[in-house]
Amino acid sequence: MKIIVAEHAGFCFGVKRAIDIAEKTISNSGGVNTYSLGPLVHNPHVVDRLNKRGLKVIDSVDSVKEGRLIIRSHGVPPIIQKKAKDTNLDVVDCTCPYVKSIHKKVIDYHSKGYKIVIVGDKNHPEVIGINGWCNDKGIIVNNEDEARKIPEYDKICIVSQTTNTLEKYEKLSSIVAKKGKEVEKFNTICNATNLRQKACAELAKKVDAMIVIGGYHSSNTNKLVEISKKYCNQVYHIELSEELPLQEVSKFNTIGITAGASTPDWIIKEVIEIMENINNNEIMEAIESTLVEIRRGDIVKGKVIYVTDDEIMVNINYKSDGIITREELSNDPNLTPKELYKEGDEIEVYIISLDDGEGNVVLSRKRLEIMKSWDELEDAFNNKEKLECTVLTDVKGGLSVLVNRVNGFIPASQISVNYVNDLSSYIGEKLTARIIDFDKNKRRVVLSSRIIEEEELAKKREELWNSLEIGKVIEGKVQRLTDFGAFVDIGGLDGLIHISDLSWNRINHPSEVVNPGDVVKVQVLDFNKENNRISLGLKQTLPQPWDVFLSKRKIGDVVSGKVVNMLDFGAFVRLEEGVDGLVHVSQISREHVDKPSDKLEIGQEVSVKIIDINQEEEKISLSIRALEKELEKKEDSEIVEATTYQNQDIDVKVEDIIDNK
């Protein structure tokens, strides 16, 4: 095996300077607390080592009141520095000189009226710091879409995050440059970054595998990983030598090693030493000792090596790698490997076979998911848990559903508390159900959504009973009618409106007032939970007809009504307000009437005159005869007027004759 280390790798000038200053500050602290505003470098192992020596990491200057504060190489906005000094902290500025030069450019061009555009990651501390030097008024772009969305400006100044790739900076800055009439571009990518990335690219082209050492959250290290993958198929990103995949890298003839700007020399040396001794018997024995023994049916953990459109290769720490085909990937046939996993993912797999004929172990995620699903369903059955099901289709006697990635069955009688006529209407619907029959060995799951409905209705009824109050007005829906009243659903409970409480007027049947399906407002008259009885009133929610009548009518008014009843002494006429008035037999006609039926019929529409109102007894006296008298007087008056007119006309004609003679 041949090992090649990139010409430029490891600590950059700015990071090394920051660490050297930090170590010196800690050594000369004299017992004074020393803090770093954020991790000094993007390498947890370096941060941990400094922490053990006394450097404490804080997220905000507000969390400390005294001591020394180290500003890391990324730099910070000026407002943070001012705040630290105002808090009486002794500030040790370790901002990288290259980053400082960007700050100066931003201050200068911002003061000249240029719109500052920063090519970089808006969440990276270096970019946040740069933007602070133009009062956070800069525009940050990290991809082509963001660059194209920038509006046009008279003057634009473009700078870059120091760890960007040259290719990315040139592509985005050329797009941004078209947005300004006057544009100043500054390639502020650190020279060390450029050299490191170029050296990485050249090395990746020559080797069988690349090992990139550096923090998983380090921007410049991740860019080295991207560059390596562009030119080499096998790339491994590690933070420490302990993470070296010895079994895998031992297969390659040439291996390249590079490291991010936050990676110290001691970690790089450890990795190189292990790689150089990988052919020693001790190393090979160590590799062999790490291999696991596997059998068909085992469940093991592994790491995704690579992903294609049709399969996933997984390192399961066995002498052979494992393969998951698309068919064994998931219960959902529409999902592709790349939609589910990416290189580096840790996953659990089920061993189907130790050899697929080409030396690979055959693995499955789908079978593992099914096994776990059955275990979860068993727990849900034992604990009587609610489950969400998706209806797949209607089958004989019920519905086929998917519950927790397993096919289940809901009998027709267990779908709903209401009768279900068309089962196909449920296809695609989501139902909440509970398992009522379960057999793991027979792969049988029977569920009921009706049980959940019944429980919810019972809960709703209980809440409704507790909310009932005599005199309270509520809304309900008429369910059915009987001769003695109407039953109304008031939200899970049925109440009865007795026929006498349907209307202020006497009615013969509830259908004269309401029909099934009507939504009505009713008043609670009485209730008894033990006997499950609720008495409701409809008329109580309506104005009393007598009061309405008094507010609208007076003696002498002429009104219309319908004959609703006849007795020997007169006829009762119902007026539009719903009150009944009596037309005494003597008031039916100017002619003599022996009984009302001689002149009137039930249901007949008549005009009547109000001749008396007795408020105390709530009685109304009406008259048809009075209208006939008024009509007769009017007719007599018209005849007199006509006769007078005719006589006047004759007199005029006689005078005309005399005059003519």
Residues with catalytic function = 126
**Residue 328 near residue 288 (C-beta atoms within 8 A):** no
Q: Which helix (DSSP H) or strand (DSSP E) does residue 140 occupy?
A: strand 139-141
Residue 582's closest CA among 532, 618, 616, 547? Answer: 618
10 Å CB burial of residue 610 (0-12, 13-18, 19+) is buried
Rounded CA separation 185/165 (Å): 16
Spatial distance between the Cα atoms of 60 and 561, rounded to a whole number of angstroms:
86
Which bin fits 618, alpha (ψ -120 to 50), beta or left (φ > 0)? Answer: left
Residue found under tokens 């902290």 = 89
Sheet bearing 254-259, strands edge to edge = 2-5, 254-259, 209-213, 234-238
Q: How many CB atoms lie within 10 A of CB 417?
A: 13
Dist. CA 275–CA 250, nearest whole Å: 9
Strand partners, 561: 575, 606
Locus of tokens 């050296």: 199
| Phi-psi category of residue 235: left, alpha or beta, with phi > 0 → left and psi -120 to 50 → alpha | beta
Q: What are residue 323's DSSP bridge partners?
A: 313, 362
Produce one character per residue of 398-411: b if its CB has 16 or more CB atoms within 10 Å, e if not.
bbebebbbbebbbe
Residue whose structure tokens are 């409809």: 538
